[in-house]
Chains A and B, each alone.
Chain A
Amino acid sequence: IAGITQAPTSQILAAGRRMTLRCTQDMRHNAMYWYRQDLGLGLRLIHYSNTAGTTGKGEVPDGYSVSRANTDDFPLTLASAVPSQTSVYFCASSADPMTDTQYFGPGTRLTVL
């Protein structure tokens, strides 16, 4: 059982390029989340999805989009990357959005030059 997997592990990207960070969970959790973690700022919620087919905005959604076509996958897309999006990105999932403990993936380290 893998839990939550993220890809790529790390990426260096030129500004202006499009990038999709992948997240897959095999726990059949209903809810999924994307966070960014910056030194000194902690984890900040970008977008979330309570169930397949629905998404919502978190604290810092600008410049990012998500989709939730099925239960397992929750990709995060940067349409046109900017240096301020340099960060470590964590995907998380929880069985029930109303309760609940979130389980985190290993993270993707993204550098935008």
Chain B
Amino acid sequence: GESVGLHLPTLSVQEGDNSIINCAYSNSASDYFIWYKQESGKGPQFIIDIRSNMDKRQGQRVTVLLNKTVKHLSLQIAATQPGDSAVYFCAENIRGGGSYIPTFGRGTSLIVHP
């Protein structure tokens, strides 16, 4: 998994498997979290978000889990497909100056083998 501050890890999975990407965030005051997907040569793309008053949120084939006690976030991708191959970033957001100021993790590279 990744942590805000560590080198880019890589997760390799077979097509059809479930993938779990982890993220440790640093600031206990963070109250909004987002997962982004970034394909090669493109900008990050929103996947799913979660607020600190929740511990789980589901989207289409994706689930985000939040454990505030240990400051840990995970992204679960069901039935991973080759098109899911990308770098995945978590971002923790702290409200400041009237806006959310995000801090991004360095990302996890997901490689899906057909």
Hey, which bits of chain A sit against chain B, CB under 8 A? 4, 31, 40-45, 48, 50, 56, 58-59, 90, 92, 97-107
**Within 8 Å CB of B89, what residues of A?**
42-43
- Are B99 and A48 within 8 A (Cβ)? yes
Question: Do A42 and B99 contact each other (CB < 8 Å), given the known contacts A103-B46, A104-B43, A106-B42?
Answer: no
Bound Cα distance from A48 to B100, whole angstroms: 10
- Total chain B interface residues with beta-carbon distance under 8 A: 27
- Are B104 and A58 within 8 A (Cβ)? no
- Whether, in the assembled complex, B8 has its beta carbon less than 8 Å from a beta carbon of chain A, the answer is yes
Bound Cα distance from A42 to B89, whole angstroms: 8
Hey, which bits of chain B sit against chain A, CB under 8 A? 4, 7-8, 32, 34, 36, 41-46, 49, 89, 91, 95, 97-107
Bound Cα distance from A105 to B46, whole angstroms: 12
Which secondary structure dominates where chain B touches chain A?
strand
Q: What are some 22 contacts across the A-B interface (CB < 8 A)?
A: A40-B7, A42-B89, A42-B106, A43-B91, A43-B102, A43-B104, A44-B104, A48-B101, A50-B99, A56-B97, A59-B103, A92-B43, A98-B99, A99-B32, A101-B34, A102-B34, A102-B46, A102-B102, A104-B36, A104-B43, A106-B42, A107-B43
Select which of A31, A90, A92, A101 is within 8 A of B49 by beta carbon: A101
A96 to B, closest residue via Cβ: B99
**Within 8 Å CB of B32, what residues of A?**
99
- Are A97 and B100 within 8 A (Cβ)? yes
- Are B104 and A42 within 8 A (Cβ)? yes
Knowing that A56-B97, A101-B46, A104-B45 touch, tell me 14 more A-B residue pairs with CB under 8 angstroms: A31-B99, A40-B7, A42-B4, A42-B105, A42-B106, A43-B89, A56-B99, A97-B100, A98-B98, A98-B99, A102-B34, A102-B46, A103-B46, A104-B44
